[in-house]
Every structure is written in C-alpha cells, then in structure tokens.
Chain A
Amino acid sequence: MSRDTALVSADWAEQNLDTPGVVFVEVDEDTSAYDGGHIPGAVKIDWKQDLQDPVRRDFVNQEQFSALLSERGISNDDVVVLYGGNNNWFAAYAYWYFKLYGHDQVKLLDGGRKKWELDARAYTKDVPVRAKTSYSASAPDLSIRAFRDEVVEAIGVKNLVDVRSPDEFAGRLLAPAHLPQEQSQRAGHIPTAISVPWSKAANEDGTFKSDDELAKIYGDAGLDGSKDTIAYCRIGERSSHTWFVLKELLGQQNVKNYDGSWTEYGSLIGVPIALGDEPGKA
C-alpha cells in the first residue's frame, strides 16, 4: 500500500464524481452533515446505526457488512472512496472495516469534508438511488485487529501508539475536549505506549502530511520499525486514522488497530495503567 493507492485528492474526486465503478461514501457518527449537503452522488453510512452491532458490544460481522453494502448498492469490484467529518476519523474507521472484510479497492479522500468545505466545492442534498447488489464480504482479516489480551501482552514488547490528545494520555482528561468529561472508566494510558496524537499526522485542513514528515514524526516519537505495532485511542476511530498512516501510507508491516481502545482497557480489572506524560515501565 502507498499514498498513490490509498488516497485520492479533492481534485481527483471532483473529476471522478460520475465515473462508473467509483462510489463515494460519506461516513459519520452524526449524519446530519450528510443530510445538510454532501459530495454529489455520495451515499451515506452512519457509523453508529450501520456499522455497530445493535446488541453485542462489537461492530457488524461479515454477514451484516455484506447486507449493508448490498443495500447501499456497492459491489465487490467498485472503487470505494470514503470521506467524512472529524478529519476523516470515521471514514478511516470505515476504511479499516472495508480492509478487514477484504474489499479490494478502497480509498480515503484526503482532507475529507473539511478540505471540501474550505475549498468551497459543491455540495448537494440529492440522495442518489443505487440498485441493490449482492455484496459478499470476506472473513475478517484479524491481522489488522487487536484484542485486549494481545494488547496486555504487547506491553514492553511491541510498539503501542496512543493517539489521543496529550491530556487524555496523561490522565488529565477522559475524553476529547469537545465532549463532557464525565465517564466511568479510569484515566491514563497503557504502560510503555508512546504518545503520538493522531492530529500530528494531519495538516490544519485535514489532509495528511507528506510521507517524509510522517516518517519523521513517528521515528522521533520512538516507534521501532522492527517491531509490530498496535494503535489505540478511546473508541478506535482516531486510531484507525493512525493505523491508516502507518500501514497504508508508510507501508509498515504488522500494524493493528485496537478498536476496544481506552473505553475497554480503562475498564478492565487488574490491568496496569500509567499516569502522566511519560510512557511508563512494563
């Protein structure tokens, strides 16, 4: 994977809005943005309604993902271009799902909604009608998904990358600062995790920094290229953004996203937690 295959620019997107076989998909938690105006031709996926299991604490399984994409009129051989708000957090999360379920050609729109808005490009409120398909998802590729036991075993062994804000890492805040702070779980981070906020990888307009800048950021932060890597945040969407950078842009092997992230880890009984700005000891 590389920037050329994983990412498209807003210019490319604008030139390919009507290209057969290219499907634009807006992914957000709050889909009122889509309803108020979206990239012409784009279908919407609601991160919470469409991508989470309604009962179990997990995301949609292989059958549910197949049914969702069939219903949205997306085929296995379509080129899927994902974008969204929040600097593409949820679009990156969806990208990770598409990869997990074996979709061949999936790309992120660099800068997402923000770049599109700041460039003053056109939106529409028209909702496209796409014929249903028979999408067939592959079995989940667990080489890109980390679970809690593996994360505990990775302490002091693998690269653990905490991509939350510095205050969340240190335990001074429990959630991003645009959300109320009352939460039930413990604060802090996984011992030996390095702190590289997801935002380090993005420019102010939401586009990704250059490969050279990205390589320097993670190198300077102490990411060891010879080790496997697990990225985490609070609920797994910001860490999808960083997973995308490390795996898809920089081409690092063996990078997993821990989607359970701090909401799970910070609620586990008996696991070690580090407080403060330093990674801490294993």
Chain B
Amino acid sequence: MTSPSNTTAAGCAAPDQSAPIPASVDLNRETVLTGIVQNAEGEPVGGAYVRLLDSSGEFTAEVVSSPEGVFRFFAAPGSWTLRALSRSGNGEAVVDATVGVNEVALAVSPA
C-alpha cells in the first residue's frame, strides 16, 4: 500500500492524462485501461470525453483525453465499454481487461 497522501487520490478530478503512470501504482494489482482517441484519419483527438461503462452499461467514470488523445482508467478485471464523445464525433470500444496495462484503440467519427 502506498501513502494515503497520494495527491491524485485526494479528490475526484481526473489526473493529468498525458502523465506517465505514477510510480506508486502497482501494476501487479491495478487494472489499467489506456489508449488514444483517434479520428477517422488516425489523428489523435484531444479534449474528448471518454466514458467508462461497466458490463451492464452503467456509467463508471469519465476523463478528458490529453492533447495527444491519451486517456487512462484504473478499473478492475472484466468486461468494460469505453465511449468517447468529441467535437469530431463519437465512438466506442469493448475490452476484456486483465490485471496490468490494457491498451485500447478508440476511434471516433461524425454521426
């Protein structure tokens, strides 16, 4: 266990999505879902709202993608849906996550 003084855990706002995974995060224990939001041309989409939905479709968390399009969640093993909303359009992806880092491709396109 790490110190409870970990500043990212003090509130509920999203930590900086472009920062490296903090050294305090134990990847033998945490289930990290991460990836890049891209548009139809394969360009990264910053400022997208990325929503994490559980296996029943229930909203779990939301972050804003970094200028490089990066998003990251700390979840648990199991099936999750990632849904992105942006000025460039929306998109979603389903992932079966395991402990460790799970890379997810998330493309958005105009409706």
Contacts and interface: CB of A to CB of B under 8 A. Distances in A.
Contact of B85 (A30, A118, A197): A118
B76 interface: yes
Given A118-B85, A178-B62, A184 B12 contact: no
Nearest to A89: B12
B11 A29 contact: yes
B79 interface: no
Contacts of A178: 14-15, 52, 61-63, 72-74
A238 to B, nearest CB: 7
Interface string B64-103: 1000000011111000000101110000000000000000
A202 to B, nearest CB: 8
The A interface is mostly helix, strand or loop, or mixed, namely loop
A252 B86 CA distance: 35
Contact of A118 (B2, B11, B26, B86): B86
A98 to B, nearest CB: 19
A199 interface: yes
A165 B58 contact: yes
A181 B74 contact: yes
Contacts of B2: 182
Contacts of A30: 13-14, 16
A130 B25 CA distance: 43
11 contacts: A29-B11, A32-B16, A85-B13, A167-B60, A173-B75, A175-B74, A176-B60, A178-B52, A178-B74, A182-B2, A182-B9
Interface of B: 1-2, 4, 6, 8-16, 22, 24-26, 30, 47, 49, 51-52, 54, 58-64, 72-76, 83, 85-87
Interface of A: 28-30, 32-33, 47-48, 85-87, 89-90, 114, 117-118, 120, 165-167, 172-173, 175-184, 197, 199, 204-205, 234-235, 237-238
Given A85-B64, A166-B54, A180-B74, 6 more contacts: A28-B13, A48-B10, A89-B12, A114-B85, A175-B74, A177-B60
